[in-house]
Copies of this chain bind each other. A is one copy, B any other.
């Protein structure tokens, strides 16, 4: 690991842990909605959602074993989110907005931290940005595939794009030598705001020209 890139600033760490819990909770809730699963399935999918993106990143940059297996806090928070979602799924469905906000915090923080960690392991700026996005969206993608949904990041809402912007700001500030708490928080906030604006106004990434999608909906549960 290169010295000088401090990717574990205390404030970021707090956001990262918050995001891990939120991803575990939200991932498990999505799993409960998408398929009839037992407790093992719901908690496993919550943990996969929370930890999967970072594990893919760590495998690809060579940070083995992945952080999720070394720092018990991530593990506990992801499992707690999944267990709470399992126990309280009927009530939590009413809390859609706070959960979306927590999820956006997770997405933003994961994208920024994922990018800095990839840079710290010597990757170039473009691959590091890509791995920042993967950190943010990878876990949800695995979860959706396991419950047989087309990953929502591929077809709906602005989800990958805010992560891409946050990751790009991060890589640019690291390369310019001005990365630090203000830059990191700035990147997190920009990502968070784009995501929230997308949710509020139901914005989507562009569709293929000419309406080439041939099926009404890619979802099972629509």
User: A210's contact among B89, B147, B150, B154, by CB below 8 Å, is which?
Assistant: B89
Say yes or no for A178: interface residue by CB 8 A criterion.
no
Q: A62 to B61, alpha carbons, bound, how many Å? A: 11
Q: Which of A8-16, A100-108, A120-128, A179-187 contacts B (4 or more CB under 8 A)?
A: A120-128
User: A38's contact among B44, B66, B205, by CB below 8 Å, is which?
Assistant: B205
Q: Judge whether B209 and A90 touch: CB under 8 Å.
A: yes
Say yes or no for A207: interface residue by CB 8 A criterion.
yes
Q: Judge whether B123 and A65 touch: CB under 8 Å.
A: yes
Q: Judge whether A72 and B160 touch: CB under 8 Å.
A: no
Say yes or no for A204: interface residue by CB 8 A criterion.
yes
Residues in B with CB closer than 8 Å to A70 are 124, 127
Residues in B with CB closer than 8 Å to A32 are 208, 212-213
Counted per complex, copies of this chain come to 3
Task: Name the residue on B nearest A122 (C-beta).
Answer: B65
Residues in B with CB closer than 8 Å to A75 are 126-127
Residues in B with CB closer than 8 Å to A98 are none
User: A154's contact among B45, B151, B204, by CB below 8 Å, is which?
Assistant: B45
A residues whose Cβ falls under 8 Å from a Cβ of B: 32-33, 35-42, 44-45, 55, 59-62, 64-66, 69-70, 72, 75, 86-87, 89-90, 121-124, 126-127, 130-131, 141, 145-151, 153-156, 160-161, 204-210, 212-215, 217-218, 220-221
Known: A59-B59, A148-B148, A148-B149. 13 other contacts (CB 8 A): A32-B208, A37-B150, A38-B156, A39-B206, A60-B65, A65-B123, A69-B123, A69-B124, A90-B212, A145-B146, A146-B154, A147-B150, A215-B220
Q: List 25 A-B contacts (CB under 8 A).
A: A32-B212, A33-B214, A36-B155, A36-B213, A36-B217, A37-B155, A37-B208, A38-B154, A39-B205, A39-B207, A40-B161, A44-B160, A55-B60, A59-B59, A61-B64, A61-B65, A75-B126, A89-B208, A89-B209, A145-B145, A146-B154, A147-B218, A148-B148, A214-B221, A215-B221
